[in-house]
Each structure stands twice: as C-alpha cells, then as structure tokens.
Structure 1
Amino acid sequence: MAFVKFKDICGDLFIPAPHKNNKAAILWLPGLPNKPSVEDMGQPLADLGFTILQLRYPGNWESKGTFGPSTSLEGAIQGLELLASGESCDQLEKKDVQWNIDRIFIAGNSYGGAIALSALANTSLAEGAVCFCPLLEPHLQNVHKNEEDLHSLYSFITKEHSADYRGFNEQEWGSFMDGNHQANPSQYIEQLKDEPILFIHGASDTSILPHHTIDFFHKLTEAGSCAAELKIVEGKGHGNGLRKATTEIWTEWLFNNHGIIKEQPFE
C-alpha cells in the first residue's frame, strides 16, 4: 500500500504483486460519513489482481480543499486521472511508485454511488461502475416518511465530523438533496444508458429503499440501455455487509463482462 496525493485529493493505493496484476483498477468512493480506509475494498481486491485507490474527497480527511458534492465529483475525476497516470509518490515512504493498468472502473457506496455515476457520465476515463445501495434520487428520499431523511446528514456531519469535512456548505447540500445539482445522477440518463453499470441493493435497506435503484435501472433500460444490470439481495441492508456478501457477484461481473484475466498462481 502507498499513500498518494494528486491535485486536491489523496488516498490509499493498493498495488497487486506483478504476477497477480490483472491490469484493471478500481476507484473506491465511500458513503457519508466515511472512514479513511475500508478493509474490504483494499488488500483483498489487490490479492485478486486489481489496483485500488481508496479516495479521500477534497476537504475530507487528509485531502486539501473544501468538501461538498461539487468537489466530490471533481475529486472523483482527479482520482481517475491519477490512476490513469500510472505513477505517483508514496508520501509515507518518500519514494516513487508505478502501476500497470489498461482499464479503470468506479465503485461507490450510497453517496459514493451518486458521485460514481456522475463521474462516469462526465469523463471517458472509466469503463463502467459498480454501485452499492446508491443515492440516486435524493429529491425523492423519504417522501413517504418511511426511510432515512438524508437532509439531516448535513447537521450530523458538521456537528460530529466537522474536522474531517471542511467547508461543508448547507446551501449546496440542500441543492444536491433537492435534485438540482451537477452531482445528481438522474440528469445523466442519456450519458449513462450505454455504460456498463452493475447496481446492487439490499432488499432490507431502510436508509435508501431499493425501489430508488429499481426505478433508476428502469429509466436506463427505457432509454435503451442493454449494459446495466441490477441485483437485489435478500436479507441485506445498507453498507459494508452488502458489499462483503456480494464480492463474488460483482468481481465476477468485472471478470466475465470486461475481459479481465483472473490472476494465476505464481509459477
């Protein structure tokens, strides 16, 4: 693992051993509030041959700048640019690091799922996305008072995590939650309809109900998408339990649909 910086972002970079390298990279975008490093989205995936960048959004943890949906989107694109460059400097060891990839995917959880799809729509650097319980329709969140009111995330984060989310703006968060923001995926149906996307949502999720993901998936298919897939997972809720329970599903989706060669035992 290396700790790398690029423009306004930084993150943990996991580089597979050369004999395991499948030449595919994954940019990991977390939900809110997040931890700086996520165990299941790091070394286990590098052991499968993936190069992994666990992004800190701008203004989040060690990254510079201010935090918000706009800078999160900008930071995601910067993360893709960093992965595409193939080189950086390990800030801890003070030495150059290189990696060898020929394709990049984005994986996002909850809020990170919204940022992942918005980034996918705004750059050609990524070949597809895996979205876990994504926040796709914030303007329809909790309309019937039967799921989490994510408007309250602003108050919670600024009260409990202000040091880790610097410059968080209430007006911008309100625009994002009202669906009037460049980081809202719903405005990018045309741009996303031909992109390979795997949606995974837990049937027991009460933070973001699965019908939002189902509705978004149907919008893509109605627009002509043949590349999007949807998995609703019974008995799973929101967050890392869903990811861990479906690792084989979404890694197989990458291997089977995108020509990624599984790492072979070293000989």
Structure 2
Amino acid sequence: MRLAPLVSTFLLSSTALIAQTSSSPISVDPPADPTSPASLVEIAVPSHGAQLLGAFYLASGSQPHPTAIIFHGFPGYEQNLDLAQTLRRAGYNVLAVHYRGSWGVSGNFSYQHTIEDADAEVEWITSADIAAKYHVDPRRVVLIGHSLGGYMALSAAAHHPGVAAAISISGASIGHRFAGLKEEEKQTAVSQFTSRVNPVDLLPLSGTSAAALGAEVFDHRNEWDFLNLAPALGSRPILLITAADGTGPNSDALLHALQAEGNTQSEHLEIKTDHPFSDHRIALQATILDWLASHVHD
C-alpha cells in the first residue's frame, strides 16, 4: 500500500509482525538435507591481486540456488549477517566478504577499490566453475548493500546486466555531497568531509586517511552520484530502503530516474529507525524477504 506517490512508510504492528514471521525463515529453520546440508565456507574471493576474505553461507540442497551478495558499509562494523542467515534459511546462498584494505584484507582501501571489488565478487560468483561448485543459479543473483554498500550493490548491478535485482539499504550516493562544487572549493570541501569522519572508522582500514577519502570523493563528485547508474539498471527490479537518516531524498531521486527509464518494478520504502536499523532488524528482514519473493522468480 502506497502512503505517498514515491515513498511507502513501512509500519508493522507487533501483532502483524508476529503473524508474518512465526512460520517464516526469520524464525523457523528449514528441514535439514542430510545429503547436502547448509554450511559455511570460509572464502577468499580474488580481486586485483588481493583476496577478499569473508564467509559464503551455503543453503541446503544440491539444486542451483538464488544467491545474494551482501556489501557492508563504511567501514563495516554493521555487516548485516543476521540478514545473511535469514536469507540462507529462505534458500539463498549468501556471500559476504570485506573490501581491499579493510578488516585485515591486503591492499589499500579506497572508494574506487570498493567499486572494483564489488564487480569482482559478481564476476567470481557467476563464473561457471564457482557456480557449479557452490550450487549458484547465475540467473538469480541479487545484490544487497547497506550505506556505502548500497552504492556498491547498485554500481555492480549496473555493470553486470545478468544480475537479477538489487537492494540498497540507506544507500550512499557517494559523490552527491560535493555535486556542483567547483575545483577551487576542493580544500574547503575536503576539510569539512575530514572533520565528520569518526577516527574509529579508520581503524579497520589501511593505506588511507580521512583527507585522502575526501579528496577521492571530490574528484569523482559527478561520476559517483548514483543517479548516473539509472540507465544501466534499466527495467530490473530495484528496492530502495531508507531509514530516518537523511538518505531518503537521494533514493527518491534515483527512483524518479529509474521511472524515467521506464522502470516499473522498483520502489522506495521507508522504515522509521536509525541508519543501522538497530531496532527494526526483523522489519528489515521481513521487507526484503517479501520483496524478493515477488521479484526474484524460479
């Protein structure tokens, strides 16, 4: 039900939520498959000379599975692995790894590298040998990202037409904050960017600094506005979920751009919570499960 022309506000009473989740993958384990059980594989995905480290949550059953890649935000304290577990119970494989230069992965962290790494993950998971080995259905690959990862999900989907759908959770339109600024404004803009970076966010990252990241964003300020991704996303289903965190207007603008491209399968939903969805984790999972059930088909 739409409560506004572009944005649906997600309101779910506790009674409705219990009814919705009492027999769903959020709360119920699927039957065990003794011949091909669910498992976790400690994984290393190659990207530009580095190995992106993380986990591959494999759903039970030997048949090809729909498969999600979850991209974490900056720097990745919230990894949305509760969502990974729920998706696996729903029959999805789920890949969740770290970018270059983050959380002990070799290389230097940069936004350009995260874009390249997201592409590398899609290419790896859809390669014939990996798809066969891990029971991946390459026709049903879904990209899901939170915050900075929201941009990565949209970017990698735009770069790979075979991706079935993408979900951006409070996605960051990276360059938007500097859009329209002139070159002579760079020093002031980067200084303001640097002042807003929490030093704790830099601790898991190597080969970078707040000033370097700010300068990188400024230099790509027009290129990295995610409105530019709309033509390549085309008519594929895109779900934009935002919180009460200021990310709504950019997602509204992206939805407008997608609709201008003739996209009728995309939507923007708002959940009234904070940026990490701290007190609405079940609502977030229920929203994503329901949407995937309608948009990613067998």
TM-score, normalisation: structure 2: 0.70
Q: Contact (CA 8 Å) 2:176, 2:225: kept in 1 or not?
A: no
| Displacement after TM superposition at 1:194 (Å) | 2.1
SS at match of 1:180: coil
| 2:195 equivalent to 1:160 | no
Give the aligned partner of residue 244 of structure 1.
282
Give the aligned partner of residue 218 of structure 1.
256
| 2:42 equivalent to 1:3 | yes
Once superposed, which parts of structure 1, at least 4 consecutive aligned residues long, lie more than 6 Å away?
A: none
SS at match of 2:258: helix
Q: C-alpha separation between the residues in 2 aligned to 1:72 and 1:137?
A: 12
| Displacement after TM superposition at 1:137 (Å) | 5.9
Q: Give the CA RMSD over aligned residues.
A: 3.0
Give the aligned partner of residue 97 of structure 2.
55
Q: C-alpha separation between the residues in 1 aligned to 2:97 and 2:103?
A: 10
Equivalent residue for 2:229, pick from 188, 194, 218: 188
Q: Contact (CA 8 Å) 2:75, 2:102: kept in 1 or not?
A: no
Give the aligned partner of residue 201 of structure 1.
242
Q: Contact (CA 8 Å) 2:154, 2:166: kept in 1 or not?
A: yes
Give the aligned partner of residue 12 of structure 2.
none
Give the aligned partner of residue 109 of structure 1.
146
Give the aligned partner of residue 23 of structure 1.
65
SS at match of 1:240: coil
| Displacement after TM superposition at 1:36 (Å) | 7.8
SS at match of 1:246: helix
Q: C-alpha separation between the residues in 2 aligned to 1:232 and 1:257?
A: 19
Q: Contact (CA 8 Å) 1:81, 1:125: kept in 2 or not?
A: no
Cα deviations across residues 19-44 of structure 1 (Å, max 9, x unaligned)?
A: 7x671111101111213854313222
| Displacement after TM superposition at 1:62 (Å) | 3.1
Q: How does 1:221-236 map to 2 (within 5 A)?
A: 221-233=259-271, 235-236=272-273
Q: Which has the larger radius of gyration?
A: 2
In structure 2, the CA distance between the partners of 1:28 and 1:86, relative to structure 1 (3 Å rule), is farther
| 2:99 equivalent to 1:99 | no
| 2:161 equivalent to 1:124 | yes
Over the matched positions of the two proteins, sequence identity in percent amounts to 20
| Bigger shift: residues 37-46 or 173-182 | 173-182
Gaps of 5+ in 2: 1-39, 181-190
Give the aligned partner of residue 92 of structure 1.
none
| Displacement after TM superposition at 1:189 (Å) | 2.2
Gaps of 5+ in 1: 89-96, 144-148, 261-267
Q: Contact (CA 8 Å) 1:80, 1:125: kept in 2 or not?
A: no
Q: C-alpha separation between the residues in 1 aligned to 2:124 and 2:235?
A: 25
- Size of the aligned set, in residue pairs, is 240
| Displacement after TM superposition at 1:219 (Å) | 2.0
TM-score, normalisation: structure 1: 0.78
AA partner of residue 232 (structure 2): Q
| Displacement after TM superposition at 1:181 (Å) | 6.2
Q: C-alpha separation between the residues in 1 aligned to 2:165 and 2:224?
A: 17
AA partner of residue 246 (structure 1): L
